[in-house]
Amino acid sequence: MVGPFGGVTAATALRAVLDDPRCAGEPVSITVNYAGPIAEGPFTIESRLVRTNRSTQHWMLTLSQGDAVHTTATVVCGARRASWSDTEITAPAAPAPESVAITTPPGFPVWMDNYEMRFVEGHGPLAGEQVEQPTSTTTLWVRDTPPRPLDQLALTALSDVFIPRVMVRKGTMVPASTVSLTVYFHADATTLAEQGAQPVLATAGAQHFGDGFFDQTAQLWGVAGTPLATSHQLVYFKG
C-alpha cells in the first residue's frame, strides 16, 4: 500500500546473495523485514557474509536509500544432499490450470499486471469478490507474465503474490502492509527446471486477526504436486 511489491523487494535481496561470488549452495530460507516504504529511485543493498559452515551459509543484508534503512533481511543457503524425505502437507484440490479462467488485472496495484492469475477460490475484492467471507483462504494458479522458467528469484516473489488476507475476509480494500516475510525453499534447482514456465498452484490463509496485525501462511506447489516453497508473514492493517 505504501511501497513496491514486497515479493520483488525480497527477490532483490536474494539476488544480492546469489550474485555474490562467495555464495555457496542454494537458498533454503529468506526472512525480510520491511522497515519502511522504498521510494522510486536508486537504492543500495549491503550484504554481509556472517558465516559459512559445512552445510549452511548465513547472510545479513540491509537495503538503504540515503541515510535511512528501509529493509533488512537474512538469507540462509545450504548444501542440498540426498536424504530421507516425506511431505506431510497436501496440495489443495484444484482443477487443471487451463480449465480455470484468467482474471483480468484490476489496474491497482500495478504489480498484479506482472502475473497470470487463475483463481480457484478466495478471489478477494481486487478480483471482483466484494462480500465478506467466512475464511481468508485463497487458492489460484499463477505464473509470471510473460511466462518464463521458474527460478529461485521468481519463486520468492510468488510467495508474496497474495493480497492481504484481511481484504478477502472483509470483502473490501483495507490499508495493509507486510511487516515481515519468511520463505522456505523446498525445491532444488533440478525441481525448478522441471517446473519450467508452467503455472504454480498457490494457496494462502490467515490464522488470527487482531490488534492491527494478522499472520499469513502460504504454500506453493508444482504441477506434479511437488512442494516448491512455504512462507509465513506478519501483516499490519487498519480497520
List of residues 6+ apart from 85 with CB closer than 8 A: none
Higher pLDDT, 51 or 129: 51
Note the pLDDT of residue 171.
93
Q: Quick one: pLDDT band at residue 186, thresholds 50, 70, 90?
A: very high
Residue among 21, 29, 11, 4 at smallest CA distance from 150 = 11
- 105-164 confidence digits (pLDDT tens): 888 888 899 999 999 999 988 777 788 999 999 999 999 999 999 999 999 999 999 999
Q: Quick one: pLDDT band at residue 188, thresholds 50, 70, 90?
A: very high
pTM above threshold 0.85: yes
3-state secondary structure of 113: helix
End-to-end alpha-carbon separation of the chain, Å?
A: 14
Q: Over 80: is that where the pLDDT of 96 sits?
A: yes
Q: How many C-beta neighbours within 10 Å does residue 54 have? A: 6
Mean pLDDT calculated for residue range 45-49:
98
Domain boundaries, the chain: 1-80, 95-176+183-238
CATH fit for domain 95-176+183-238, picks 3.30.70.260, 1.10.3720.10, 3.40.50.150, 2.40.160.210: 2.40.160.210
Q: Over 80: is that where the pLDDT of 2 sits?
A: no
Q: Over 70: is that where the pLDDT of 3 sits?
A: no
To the question of domain 1-80 being in CATH 3.10.129.10, the answer is yes
